[in-house]
Amino acid sequence: MSNALFAGVDVGSLSTDVVLIDSAGATRAEVVFPTGINGAEAAQKAYDLALEQGGISRDQIKAVIATGYGRAAVAFASGKTTEISCHGVGAHHLFPDTGTVIDIGGQDSKVIQVDGRGRMLDFSMNDKCAAGTGRFLEVMAAQLEMNLNELSDPRHVSGESVQISSTCTVFAESEVISLLAKHTPREQIINGLQRSIVNRIWSMVISIGIQGEITITGGVAKNKGLVTVLEEKLGMHLNVPDNPQTVGALGAAHIAQRGFKDE
Amino acid sequence: MIPNRSEYLKQQALQGQKIMGVLPALYPKELLWAFDILPAEIWDPPGDIVKANRHLQTTICPIVKQSLEFILTEPGIVNAGYLFPHTCDSLQNLGSQVKDMIGVPVPVYTFYNPKGNFNKATRAYYGDILNEFLQVLADVHGPPDIEKLRAACELGLKIDGRRIELQQARMTDRLSLNSQQYFQLIRAAEFMQPVDYLYLLNQVEIQDEPLKSHAIRFLISGILPPNDMTLSFLDDLGIGIVAEDLLAGSRRIPIATLDPPADPIEYLTDRFFLLPPCSTKAGSLDHRQQYLKKLASDSKAQAVLFNIVKFCEPELFDHRSLVKSLKNEGLPVLSLETELLPGLSGQTQTRIEAIVEMMGDEVLA
Ligand SMILES: Nc1ncnc2c1ncn2[C@@H]1O[C@H](COP(=O)(O)OP(=O)(O)OP(=O)(O)O)[C@@H](O)[C@H]1O
Ligand code: SF4
Ligand SMILES: [Mg+2]
C-alpha cells in the first residue's frame, strides 16, 4: 500500500496548515496559509495548494484528519482530533525523545506531556484571554511599530529589561504606550514583553511538570528572542522544529495514517 | 415535568405564599418550612449584570454579582426577606452591603455556619445558632409550632433519603436521565415546595438492572454544574456524569440517612455534621481528598471534572492540592473555569475533547 498518502489539516486562529505524508511517514507537501475569516475556505485552499505542491491527486489521499479550533468546519476531513493531541504526536515524530510540548499559537498556548509514543499524558491550556499567546505579541509589535521578525530578534533580550506588570493584553498595551511616552528604549520594552509571556508559559509548564526533552511548536516558536528567554527560565535546551507552525498538521497526518485500516 | 423556576415562584407569590430569597448554600430549610416560608435560592439568575457592578469589585465571583443584580431588580416575588448564610467572605460582605448600604424593603437575615474542623464546641455552637434563628423568625412570624417543625424535619428526611437513593442509582447506571435532566432535577430543590419536590423525586424511576454504561464516566466537583450547553456537549460525547460533589448538589445532602427526629434541633444539628466535606466549611483538605477519591472509586469514575466558578476563593484555595492528589491516583483531571454565562467556547470544547482523547487509544486512532 505504498501509494497511500495521508493529510493533516490544522485550522488555527491565524494560520491554516496542511501536511501530506506518505505511508513511510515522509512529508510530501507542507503549506501554511492565513486562516482569515473563513476557516472552511482556508482549509480547502490550503489543501488544494498542498496537493499541487506535492503533485498529488486527491484520490491518493486515504484519510484526512482535521484539527485546530476550526476542525469542525473541514468538510473533506474523514475525522477530527484536537490540536492538543496533534501537537503531541507531531512533536514526537520530529523529536522522538520529546516528553513535553509547548505549543504557542495565535490565540491559545498549551503545555502537553507525552509518553514514548507521542500519546498525551496530561495538558494545560490558557484561558480565554490572549495573554501569553502570539496575538499578544502581535498587538505589542503594532504598538512598537515594528514587524514580528524585528520584535523576535534575540539581541533584544540580552540587555536590560523593564518590568511589564500586566499579562492582560489590554493593560499591557497601555503600559507599553506609557513606557514609550517616557522614552524607554524599545529593546528594554521588548525584553520586558518577552519575559512577561515566558512567565505566563512557565506557570503553565510547572503546573503539569516537565519530563523528557521539551519541544516548542506553533508560530511563536519562530520568535527567537522568546525561545532564548524561555530556555533561560527553564534552564533547558528547547527543540525547535524547522517549521513549528505545521507540527499540529503533521501530527494530524500521522493520526490519519494510524487510524487508516487498509481494506 | 420540572416546573420553570420563575413561573413557579410567581405562581406561589400570587397564591400569597411567603417567600424568602436565600443565597447559597447551607441553611436550615426545615426551620423556614415550619413557618410556612418557601426558600427561593438565588445562585445564578440569568441576565446581564448592570446595576450590581456599581457596588462590587471586578474580582468578585459571578454568583455574588448575579445575586446582587437579582436583588436590585427583584420582580416582587421575595416578600419574607433575604437570608445570607456565611458561605464565604464575598457573600457575607454582600449581606452586610444589602442590609446596611443598599437597603431592601424586606428584612435581611444572616446565618453563620460554623467553619473549620468540627468538635463538641462547634456542635454546641450550631445548636445555639439554630435556636437563635428560630427566635428571630418567631419574632416576625409568631411562635414556632414544634409539631410543625418536627413534620418539616420528617419531610426533609424523606427528601434526603430519596436523594441518596437517586445518587446511588446514578452511580450504578440505574437512572435513565441524561446529565442535563439529572441536574435540572437536583436543582429544582432550590425553589420548589418540599411536598412538590418530594413528589417529583418519587416520579423518577430507578431501574432494577443497570442500563448500558456510559462510554466515559466522569465525577464532577465544584459549586454548580456546567451550563446546559456544556452538559449536552458532554452527553453527546458519551460522557456520563455519574457522581457529583457540587455545593448545589450532593454537598447539601447528608452522607447517610438519620433516624426520625425526636428533637428537631438535635436532628438538624446531627444532619449538618453529616454533610460531606466542602471548601466553604473550611474543613480539613485531607478529608476532602479522601472523600473525592472514594466517590470516584464508588462511582467507577474514570476522570474528574472541576467546574470552577471564576474568583471563587474557597474552591480555588483547595483546587490545586485536590488536582494533584487525584492525578497521583492515576485519575485524569480537567478543570474548567466558568463565569456562569450561557454558551460553550471553542476552548472549552477542545479541553473536553482532549481529555477524552487522552483517556483512550481507540479515540485517538
Ligand atoms: N516569523 C515569525 N516570527 C515571530 N513570530 C511569529 C512569526 N510567524 C508567526 N509568529 C507568531 O505565531 C503566531 C501564530 O502561530 P500559529 O500559526 O501557530 O497560530 P494558530 O495555530 O493559527 O493559532 P491557535 O493554535 O492559537 O489557534 C502569531 O501570532 C505570531 O505571534
Ligand atoms: S462561588 Fe465561591 S466565592 Fe462565589 S458565592 Fe459561592 S462560595 Fe462564595
Ligand atoms: Mg495552532
Where are the domains positioned within chain A? Answer: 1-95+244-263, 97-240
Question: A119 vs B351: CB contact, 8 Å cut-off?
Answer: no
Domain boundary (B146, B171, B202) is at B146
Mean pLDDT within B66-80: 92
- One domain for residues B228 and B359: yes
> Residue A135: its pLDDT value, please?
87
Q: How far apart are the first and last CA of chain B?
A: 41
Task: Search chain A and give the residue with CA nearest B327.
Answer: A122
pLDDT one-digit tens code per residue, A86-95? 999 999 999 9
Domain boundary (B146, B166, B194) is at B146
Task: Find the domain containing B341 and state its range.
Answer: 210-364
Task: Search chain B and give the residue with CA nearest A129.
Answer: B347
Report which secondary-structure segment, H or E, holds A26.
Answer: none
- Rounded to whole angstroms, the Cα distance separating B215 from B207 reads 19
Q: Which ligand is nearest to the CA of A142?
A: 1
Domain assignment present for residue B197? The answer is: no
> Residue B364: its pLDDT value, please?
38
According to DSSP H, which parts of chain A are helical?
A: 39-54, 83-94, 134-143, 148-151, 169-181, 186-208, 224-234, 247-259
Domain assignment present for residue B173? The answer is: no
- Looking at the structure of chain B, the number of domains it has is 2
- One domain for residues B12 and B140: yes
Amino acid at A215: T
Report which secondary-structure segment, H or E, holds B157.
Answer: helix B146-171
Question: A85 vs B346: CB contact, 8 Å cut-off?
Answer: no
Q: How far apart are the first and last CA of chain A?
A: 10
- Rounded to whole angstroms, the Cα distance separating A216 from A234 reads 12
Q: Which residue's CA is the nearest one to ligand 2's atom 1?
A: B312
Chain B residues within an 8 Å CB radius of A122:
327, 332, 358
Domain assignment present for residue B198? The answer is: no
Domain assignment present for residue B290? The answer is: yes
A97-240: CATH topology? Nucleotidyltransferase; domain 5 (3.30.420)
Amino acid at A254: H
Mean pLDDT within B37-64: 89
> Residue A220: its pLDDT value, please?
96
Name residues with Cβ closer than 5 Å to ligand 3, which is an ion.
A 12, 105
- What distance in angstroms lies between residue B52's CA and the mean position of ligand 2's atoms? 16
Taking CA atoms, B197 is separated from B59, B83, B182, B188, in Å, by: 36, 21, 14, 7
Burial tier of B4 (Cβ tally within 10 Å: 0-12, 13-18, 19+): exposed
User: Under a CB-based contact definition with an 8 Å cutoff, are residues B88 and B314 in contact?
Assistant: yes
Ligand 2 pocket, mutate which of B68, B94, B309 (most atoms under 8 A from CB): B309
Domain boundary (B146, B179, B199) is at B146
Chain B residues within an 8 Å CB radius of A87:
none
Mean pLDDT, chain B, whole residue set:
93
- Rounded to whole angstroms, the Cα distance separating A19 from A27 reads 7
- The residues, ordered by sequence, that sit 6+ positions from A103 with a Cβ below 8 Å of its Cβ are A83, A84, A87, A109, A110, A111, A112, A216, A217, A218, A247, A248
- One domain for residues B142 and B216: no
Confidence of residue B362 (pLDDT cuts 50, 70, 90): very low
Residues of A with CB under 8 A from a CB of B: 69, 81-85, 108, 119-123, 125, 127-128, 255, 258-259
pLDDT tens digits, chain A, 263 residues: what are they?
468 999 999 999 999 999 999 999 999 999 999 999 999 999 999 999 999 999 999 999 999 999 999 999 999 999 999 999 999 999 999 999 999 999 999 998 999 999 999 999 999 987 766 677 888 889 889 989 999 999 999 999 998 888 887 777 778 888 888 898 899 999 999 999 999 899 889 989 998 899 999 999 999 999 999 999 999 999 999 999 999 999 999 999 999 999 876 43
Chain A nearest C-alpha distance from B132 (Å): 45
pTM of the model: 0.91
> Residue B363: its pLDDT value, please?
38
- Rounded to whole angstroms, the Cα distance separating A151 from A224 reads 9
Please name every residue paired with B220 in a beta bridge, in sequence order, or none if there are none: B244, B305
- Rounded to whole angstroms, the Cα distance separating B279 from B283 reads 7
Question: A85 vs B354: CB contact, 8 Å cut-off?
Answer: yes
Chain A nearest C-alpha distance from B327 (Å): 10
- What distance in angstroms lies between residue A172's CA and the mean position of ligand 2's atoms? 29
pLDDT one-digit tens code per residue, B167-194? 999 999 999 999 999 999 999 999 999 9
Give the orientation angle of helix B194-203 with respect to helix B146-171, to 10 degrees: 30
pLDDT one-digit tens code per residue, B79-95? 999 999 999 999 999 99
Chain A residues within an 8 Å CB radius of B337:
127
Domain assignment present for residue B311? The answer is: yes
Q: Which ligand is nearest to the CA of A35?
A: 1
**Nine-digit cell string for B119:** 468538635
- The residues, ordered by sequence, that sit 6+ positions from A171 with a Cβ below 8 Å of its Cβ are none
Residue carrying the nine cell digits 472514594 = B294
Residue B320 sits in a domain of what CATH number? 3.40.50.11900
> Residue A263: its pLDDT value, please?
38
**Nine-digit cell string for A89:** 504526536
Res. B101: pLDDT tops 80: yes
According to DSSP H, which parts of A4-70 are helical?
A: 39-54
Which CATH class, in words, describes the domain spanning A1-95+244-263?
alpha beta
Domain assignment present for residue B195? The answer is: no
Same fold, A1-95+244-263 and A97-240: yes
Report CA Rg, chain A. 19
Amino acid at B206: I
> Residue B266: its pLDDT value, please?
95
- One domain for residues B135 and B216: no
Domain assignment present for residue B152? The answer is: no
- Rounded to whole angstroms, the Cα distance separating B276 from B196 reads 25
Mean pLDDT within B3-16: 95
